[in-house]
Amino acid sequence: MTDQPHNIVIVGGGAGGLGLATKLGKKLGKKKKAHITLVDAQKTHFWKPLLHEVAAGSLNAFEDELSYLAQAKWNHFQFLPGRMSGLNRDNKTITLAPIYDETGEEVVPERNLEYDDLVICVGSTANDFNTPGAVDHCLFLDNREEAERVHTTLLNHYLYAQASREASPELNIAIIGAGATGVELAAELHHAAIELARYGLDAIKPNKVKITIIEGSDRILPALPIRISSSVHKQLQKMGILIQTNQLVSEITNTGLKTKSGDIIASDLSIWAAGIKAPAFLKDIAGLETNRINQLLVKPTLQSTLDDHIYALGDCASCTLKDSNDEPITIPPRAQAAHQQAELLAKSLIGNVLEGQAPLTFTYKDYGSLISLSRFSAVGNLMGAITGGDMMVEGMMAKMFYISLYRMHQVALFGRFRTGSLILKDFIGKTTRPHLKLH
């Protein structure tokens, strides 16, 4: 009787999870050395750093989404739709919640799924810090559906204004949080206001769209070098975007925001883009260690601190390493970190299955950060192997590097030839479709 293949279950099909499933499928699944299963609550994958473009309408998500079933077929792993709801470490099983249709009828009952090694990479959601009114009166950007809801709400404001023909109507948009998501969203919405007027939705003039970014820190992009923050600040001001720093939101209503300093900011469309937390179901799941924002604590090998057969990566994991001065550093919740962790973990799991090797230790390399300001500009810093140091880039060069990030993600999933075909398709498509999604 032959041995059963090693059973690796990956929960979460974001950039890290899908990349890991693809690599393991090619190296282990194809050769029947292991059985690879990817679990995700959605049926399709979309690269999260582009959600602000979907929200503004600059990108049609349906043209860039990827079917998990198709990717599984092409790369020798199995995909199961479902949302993880429980974990039994003794039996080495996870529980998947029932699946319901749009009428509330159960389509798939609750299931248990066995694993030999479990990888949890379920990403993060927005952290509203229990701010009163946030859930009821804010839109979020946690997934494609929420981004499309922002876009639909934006269009509805324009359609209403077009039909009512009020005298010089205004649209007030408030974005809570001036990290990369909030800043990039503000620039894209400014661009959308210009494009919507060009396509005939001109009741709301571009100069009547008032976009305000509210940030609790003393500057925008507080996680990035101050020279990048200052440059982006100036460019946003040139666009007419209002920036309020050192402001903490205390309440959100259907007409605007209240700050702890007593200011009231009018808003017809409020979007929360501040802070992250891991999904609530992870909090102390099966006795595993988690922090105050529900992230699983992991060792430098990406194994959970209490169970060597459970790994975590990306935004849902808290990994602390030592820097060159032997000081502790916590890996930031960035896409590049998730990609690097997925690469390391793929090598670890392949080595363990094929050779019985011990897990490898993760080393984080910061290659810099890039901020896109829609079609207007891009700003960032490149570090390490790319430049041999720390170099600030702006304008067209920065924009080219920014675009290359997504193309590198596509190469990891599809290979160079298919990615080249996709680039050609996108280039041709620009001549046959509007510059903005108008529905």
All residues at 6 or more sequence positions from 396 whose CB lies less than 8 Å from its CB, including other chains: none
Q: Residue 374's pLDDT is what?
A: 87
Counting residues of the chain whose pLDDT is more than 70, the rounded percentage is: 97
Exposed/middle/buried for residue 19 (C-beta within 10 Å: 0-12, 13-18, 19+)? buried
Query: What is the per-residue pLDDT across 116-138, written as a single tens digit (0 to 9) for each?
Result: 999 999 999 999 999 999 999 99
Phi (first) and psi of residue 260, to 5 degrees? -65, -20
Q: Residue 386's pLDDT is what?
A: 46
Q: Residue 119's pLDDT is what?
A: 98
Q: Are strands 6-11 and 117-120 parallel, antiparallel or unpaired?
A: parallel
DSSP string across 7-75: EEEEE--SHHHHHHHHHHIIIIITTTSEEEEEEESSSEE--GGGHHHHHHTSS-HHHH-EEHHHHHHHH
How many Å apart are CA 387 and CA 384, to the nearest integer? 6
Q: Residue 383's pLDDT is what?
A: 67
Counting residues of the chain whose pLDDT is more than 90, the rounded percentage is: 75
Q: Residue 1's pLDDT is what?
A: 38
Phi (first) and psi of residue 191, to 5 degrees? -65, -40
Q: Residue 394's pLDDT is what?
A: 81
CB atoms within 10 A of CB 124: 20
Answer whether residue 389 shows pLDDT above 60.
no
Query: What is the per-residue pLDDT across 84-99, written as a single tens digit (0 to 9) for each?
Result: 999 999 999 999 999 9
Tell me if 173 sits within 8 A of 189, measured CB to CB.
yes
Answer whether residue 270 shows pLDDT above 50.
yes
CA angle, corner 47, sides to 42 and 48, nearest 5? 85
CB atoms within 10 A of CB 7: 16
Can you tell me whether residue 396 is helix, strand or coil?
helix
Of 260 and 427, more confident: 260
Taking all residues of the chain, what is their mean pLDDT, rounded to a whole number? Answer: 92
How many Å apart are CA 190 and CA 233, to the nearest integer? 14
What are the CA-CA distances from residue 309 to residues 94, 266, 300, 321, 347 (Å)?
A: 13, 51, 14, 20, 15
DSSP string across 182-238: HHHHHHHHHHHHHHHHHTT--SS-GGGEEEEEE-SSSSSSTTS-HHHHHHHHHHHHH
Q: Residue 165's pLDDT is what?
A: 73
Average pLDDT over residues 25-49: 95
Query: What is the per-residue pLDDT across 183-236, written as a single tens digit (0 to 9) for each?
Result: 999 999 999 999 999 999 999 999 999 999 999 999 999 989 899 999 999 999
Q: Residue 387's pLDDT is what?
A: 45
AA letter at 239: M
Of 431 and 316, more confident: 316
Answer whether residue 14 shows pLDDT above 50.
yes
Q: Residue 407's pLDDT is what?
A: 87
User: Which domains does the chain show, CATH number per domain?
Assistant: 6-124+278-355 (3.50.50.60), 134-275 (3.50.50.60), 368-429 (no CATH)
Answer whether residue 170 shows pLDDT above 90.
yes
Q: At what angle do helices 335-355 and 15-24 cross, to 10 degrees?
A: 30
Answer whether residue 439 shows pLDDT above 90.
no
Query: What is the per-residue pLDDT across 341-379, written as a single tens digit (0 to 9) for each?
Result: 999 999 999 999 888 899 999 999 888 888 999 887 888
pLDDT band at 403 (very low <50, low <70, confident <90, very high): confident
231-240 burial: b if 16+ Cβ within 10 Å, else e:
bbbebbeebe
Average pLDDT over residues 52-65: 91
Answer whether residue 174 shows pLDDT above 70.
yes
Q: Residue 388's pLDDT is what?
A: 47
Q: Residue 3's pLDDT is what?
A: 67
Phi (first) and psi of residue 224, to 5 degrees? -105, 165
258-295 burial: b if 16+ Cβ within 10 Å, else e:
bbeeeeebebbbbbbbbbbbbbeebbebeebebeebbb
Q: Residue 103's pLDDT is what?
A: 93
What are the CA-CA distances from residue 301 to residues 2, 132, 305, 358 (Å)?
A: 31, 39, 10, 9
